Structure 1
C-alpha cells in the first residue's frame, strides 16, 4: 500500500465514521424534535443532515465532473434551502438521500487518485481549482463540524451524547445536575470577582413548542463561506 492510498483510506474511514455519527443523532426522535429550530438561526437536526448530504453530493460530484444522480438545484440558485426540512420532505427521504450520496461519493473517492484535479465553481478566485485530497479534507471537516453541532443539539433535547450507540452510557441525571450546578457556581463566582454582569440569554436561543393550532414558518439562515 502506498503512502497516498494509506492516507486516503484513513481520511475515508474518518468520513464514514462521522457520517454515521451525524445520522445517528436522529435516532429515536419525534418528528417535531427532529425538525424544530434549536438555535437562534434556526438550526435543526434534520436540517443538518440535509445540508451535509447536499454538500457532499456537490463536492464529490460536479467538482470532479461526476454529477450526483440526485436532483440538486443549481449552485447559483443556492439560498440556504438545504439547511432545513420542509413539512413535505419526510425524514426517510432525507436520510435515504444522504445514504445514496455516500455511495456516489465513495465511488469517486475510491476510483480517483488523491491528486486528481477538481474545480469548485462556487469558490472565489483565485481558489476554485483543487484536488481530491483537499476536497476530502474539506468534506470531512464539514461533516465533523456539523456532527459536533448535532451532538450538542441532541444533548439539549434528551441528554443523549456520543458518536456511536455501542459506546453510549446511560445518563446519570443526578450526577449531571450536580456537575452542572458546580459549573454554574464557578461561573457566577468568576463573574462576581471580575465585576462582570451575568449575561442574559440571547433572544431566540430557546425554541418553545408552538401552541395548539399555531403555525410556524421555518427561518432560512444566512450562511457565508465557500460551501453552498
Structure 2
C-alpha cells in the first residue's frame, strides 16, 4: 500500500469537489456572501489554493515565486476569503491550478517523513512531516468542500456530486420537502 499516493488521491478528490461547486454558476452567484461572515464559493477556492500553496512551499523550502497580495501584511485579515471585482474567475482558477501543481510536485518529490517547519504555528508544533501536512490539507480541503456543498444548495438547490451521486437518495422536490418537514417536526418536539 502506498500511503502517500492514497493521501494525494484523497486531496485531489476534495480539490475537484470544491471546484465542481462553481460549475454552471454566474459571476454573482460564485462571489456573493451566503453567510453572515461572508462565506462564498470563489473565496473558498481562493482560500484553499493559498493555504495549500503556503503549506507545500515555504514549509518544505520550496518557494513558489508567486505574488499573493492577500497574504501580505498590508492586506485585510480575510482577504483570501473573497475575490475583489478586479480578480476574475479565470485568475482565481489559474491560481488554484498553479497551487495544485506546485503542491503535487512537492508531495511527489518528498517522502512522507520529510521534515518541514510551519513558522506560524506555536513553537512546540512547528516541526512537521510531509505526512502531517498532507493529512492537514486533506482535512482543510474536505472542510471547505463541505462548506461549498451547503452554499451551492442555498444558491440553486444543487446537492451532492450531481444527479448520479450514490450517496443521495433519489427524492423528488416534494419528497425532500416532506423529509425536511419531518426533521423540523422532530426538532420542535425535542426543543419543547
- Counterpart of 1:100 in structure 2 is 98
- Counterpart of 1:33 in structure 2 is 29
User: Are positions 1:118 and 2:113 aligned together?
Assistant: no
**Offset of 1:75 from its aligned partner?**
5.2
Q: Deviations over 1:52-76 (max 9, x none)?
A: 0000110011111111232124856
C-alpha distance in 1 between matches for 2:171 and 2:69:
42
User: Cα gap change, 1:125/1:147 in structure 2, threshold over 3 Å: closer, same or farther?
Assistant: same
**Offset of 1:97 from its aligned partner?**
0.7
Question: Which structure carries more helix by proportion?
Answer: 2
The TM-score normalised by the length of structure 1 is: 0.77
Q: Deviations over 1:67-103 (max 9, x none)?
A: 1232124856262210111111111110111011111
C-alpha distance in 1 between matches for 2:18 and 2:87:
19
- Counterpart of 1:62 in structure 2 is 58
- Counterpart of 1:182 in structure 2 is 182
> Aligned pairs, how many?
188
Q: Which runs of 5+ in 1 are unaligned?
A: 193-228
Q: Is the 8 A contact 2:60 2:115 kept in 1?
A: yes
C-alpha distance in 2 between matches for 1:173 and 1:142:
32
User: Are positions 1:42 and 2:32 aligned together?
Assistant: no
User: Cα gap change, 1:129/1:74 in structure 2, threshold over 3 Å: closer, same or farther?
Assistant: farther
Q: Is the 8 A contact 2:70 2:80 kept in 1?
A: no
Q: Deviations over 1:95-116 (max 9, x none)?
A: 1110111111111001111111
The TM-score normalised by the length of structure 2 is: 0.91
Q: Is the 8 A contact 1:75 1:122 kept in 2?
A: no
C-alpha distance in 1 between matches for 2:116 and 2:101:
19
C-alpha distance in 2 between matches for 1:8 and 1:19:
16
> In structure 2, the residue corresponding to 1:130 is in which secondary structure?
strand
Higher relative contact order (CA 8 A, sep 6+): 1
Q: Is the 8 A contact 1:159 1:171 kept in 2?
A: no
**Offset of 1:30 from its aligned partner?**
1.6
Q: Which runs of 5+ in 2 are unaligned?
A: none
User: Cα gap change, 1:123/1:113 in structure 2, threshold over 3 Å: closer, same or farther?
Assistant: same
Pairwise CA RMSD: 1.9
